[in-house]
Amino acid sequence: MNKSVMVIAPHPDDESLGCGGTLLRHKSEGDDIHWCVVTDMQQSSNYTSEQKAQRAELIEKVSQHFGFSSERNLGFTPAGLDSTTTGALIGKLKEYIDLVKPHTVYIPYAFDVHSDHRYVFDAVISVSKSFRAPYIKKVACYETLSETDFGLSPINTQFQPNLFIDISHFSEQKKTVLSLYQSELDAHPFPRSFNAVEALEIIRGTQAHVERAEAFVVLKEIA
């Protein structure tokens, strides 16, 4: 039976970096995929109307490439979730999740260096409690280049994947989507480069004995 799958991205590009190949694979297998972007450019945060229009156009192009069944931007300020009430974030997430009723949810890792990622993680965990959202059967964290791998800590918070998804047939499509995010990418050794994306896919693929893979930490799975 086809599943409903949701990716929750603190910022546009997190979904493509973290699980772009996996989303494309879900789509090819007949699953409905949905995209929740938590933050948006706000004129109150010194973004111009032109920048907002360009971002909206970018999101539309990315959505078309993936073939999302739906997408929603929650409209919070980038790098500003620490000044947002937890209730407001949880409320908007819950509204969209209750509408879609996803079987599988992909979310950022709890110990990513960007505070927006950590706040989103905490909010989703609250919303996805089994007695609150019994339709959610699987929650998994993706890894985001320049965020997950830069989350340094004196205690062991390292991303330790327990799920590897073979994206060998979807790596090129993923690169096509990522190429839309020109302002977020740069040449090697910048951490969000095509070299880094390919290197991570190859490393995770080697760990799973496939050509290319994306890795996840599964938080819960109900069968």
Enter the DSSP assignment of 132.
T
Looking at the chain, the whole-number percentage of residues with pLDDT higher than 70 is: 98
Please list, in sequence order, all residues whose beta carbon lies within 8 angstroms of the beta carbon of residue 14, skipping any fewer than 6 positions away.
108, 117, 142, 144, 147
Query: Which stretch of 49-58, 119-128, 157-166 has the lowest confidence by average pLDDT?
Result: 49-58
CA end-to-end distance (rounded Å), the chain: 14
pLDDT score, position 156: 87
Mean pLDDT computed over 143-168? 92
Q: How many domains does the chain have?
A: 1
Q: What pLDDT is stored for residue 155 in this prediction?
A: 84
Strand partners, 5: 33, 104
- Give me the pLDDT at residue 32, please: 99
Residue 202 is part of which domain span? 4-221
* Residue-averaged pLDDT of the chain: 95
pLDDT of residue 48: 84
pLDDT at residue 45 in the model: 64
CATH code for the domain of 123? 3.40.50.10320
| Residues 107, 143: Cα–Cα separation, whole Å | 9
The angle that helices 14-28 and 171-178 make with each other, rounded to 10 degrees, is 140
Q: What is the CA radius of gyration of the chain?
A: 16
Query: For 23-48, how does the pLDDT look when each residue is reduced to its tens digit (9 = 90+)?
Result: 999 999 999 999 999 999 776 567 78
The DSSP code sequence of 166-181 is E-TTTHHHHHHHHTT-
Chain segment 50-96, per-residue pLDDT in tens = 888 898 999 999 999 999 999 999 999 998 999 999 999 999 999 99
Please state, in angstroms and as integers, the Cα–Cα distance from residue 15 to each residue in 21, 59, 92, 173, following that order: 10, 11, 19, 14
Residue 24, class by beta-carbon neighbours within 10 Å (0-12 exposed, 13-18 middle, 19+ buried)? Answer: buried
Predicted pLDDT of residue 158: 93
Q: Is the pLDDT of residue 143 over 70?
A: yes
Burial of 163 (0-12, 13-18, 19+ CB in 10 A): middle
pLDDT reported for residue 49: 83
pLDDT per position as a tens digit, 45-63: 677 888 888 989 999 999 9
